[in-house]
Chain A
Amino acid sequence: MFTNTENARAYANGKNRRVLSGRNLWSGVLFGVGTAAFVDEAVFHQLLHWHHFYDLSTSDVGLVSDGLFHAFSWFATIASLFLFADLRRRNAFWPQRWIGGMLIGAGAFQLYDGTIQHKLLKLHQIRYDVDILPYDLAWNAIAVLLLLLGAVLLWKTRQPAERTGS
């Protein structure tokens, strides 16, 4: 049961969000990266104390990679929210596409963290003094699952094939 203005707003949203489909995607991706990094910091570093601030086996490349990702995710969290506010004020917010982007961002960060940073660069491990294999498998499986879910949503909200003329 829509009133006329609500109808008009919903109709405009359907058009606006296609124009700003990319901004919906990127706002979501940045928010996903930020959320994954925040969970990593809050839960695994601060609450559980599983992760270490610095691990003696950390390489220089690992330090640089960690520094860049930490800084980027900090910026991404805040910037994504301003992009979100921008989409709202333009009546162009597309929840499905935004959440799709978020899952991709979170999954990509998690996978990068779980493979390159933990394993290749040996930044720090998920947990110490335990058999690490199940932790690594669960960590990366979750990452792949997030990526897959995100990909499905992005596929569902993809732009219709380019139309020629109008």
Chain B
Amino acid sequence: MQSEISASEFGIVLLLLMAVIIYIHAAIRSRNKFKRWPAYRSVFWISGVFSIGVSLIGPLANQAHHNFIAHMSTHLLIGMLAPLLLVLASPMTLLLRSLSVASARKVTRFLKSWPVYLLSHPLTAATLNTGGLFLLYRTDLFVLMHEHILLYGLVHFHLLAAGYLFTASIIYMDPVAHKASFPLRAVVLVAALAAHGILSKLIYASPPQTVPKSEAEAGGMLMYYGGDVIDALLITIFCYQWFVFARPRLTAQKNG
């Protein structure tokens, strides 16, 4: 076990701590202007940041450099679980609550702009998310990533950012400027889930160059079934949002 902490690890700890401190600070401060910020959202945020932390530093992250099963665990954490937890913490709502009216308007205008619309569309988000995974495991990127620390950081940032973008494009916890219909989101969700399953079996069958066969098989199955578990959560929340949206409304009804 290595005991000294490298500069990059120190930087990551600092960033993650800042993410938690800023969120909690905003949650407490915005209580004065609005009603109480629900505690469960803060719990989601802290758990999400913690998942990122576990996948980037510490024993599991160290193992991930030479063990494919550990590598896949960190990817489930940073690419799927952490994004879901962060989305559930509704950070954009908290941001808008914490800003002055003028700045909040600027943020909303930015969120309504067409580049954001394009980027946060379920199709774009799903392509960025699963496309990135196919690049990572079906090209030399996986081998290159372990040789260049900067590339390693970039790939992991992409996993987290694309994961967040995708999750936020499927379930709406924050105010959304351009809402996609339920059927469209359902189709994209199923397609992305299918691509994830297909990629896990491809990894099982023909792993990246440096990965031994037994590790690739266990890692592929972990990706397949682990992805299913987190996707089940995502599907359940998505369907629940439909259930609330489609509730019977008391309208004048013809009676016979």
Q: Is the CB of B201 within 8 A of A53?
A: yes
Q: Is the CB of A90 within 8 A of B205?
A: no
Determine the chain A residues whose CB is within 8 A of the CB of B197 once the complex forms. Answer: 66-67, 70-71
Give the CA-CA distance A4 to B204 in the complex, in Å. Answer: 62
A66, A82, A86, A90: most-surrounded residue (chain B CB, <10 A): A82
Determine the chain B residues whose CB is within 8 A of the CB of A70 once the complex forms. Answer: 194, 197
Minimum C-beta distance from A136 to chain B (A): 23
Q: Is the CB of B193 within 8 A of A54?
A: no
Q: Is the CB of A78 within 8 A of B194?
A: no
- Judged by DSSP, the binding face of A is helix
- Judged by DSSP, the binding face of B is helix
A85 on the interface (CB 8 Å rule)? yes
A68 on the interface (CB 8 Å rule)? yes
Number of A-B contacts (CB under 8 A): 63
The listed residue (A63, A71, A78, A81) touching B201 by CB distance below 8 A is: A63
Q: Please tell me the number of chain B residues within 8 Å of chain A, measured between CB atoms.
A: 28
Q: Is the CB of B204 within 8 A of A53?
A: yes
Determine the chain B residues whose CB is within 8 A of the CB of A79 once the complex forms. Answer: 186, 235, 239
Chain A 50-87, CB-CB to B under 8 Å as 1, else 0, gives: 00011000100001101110111011001101100110
Seen from chain B, the residues whose Cβ lies within 8 Å of a Cβ on chain A are: 186, 189-191, 193-198, 201-202, 204-205, 221, 224, 228, 231-232, 235-236, 239-240, 242-243, 246-248
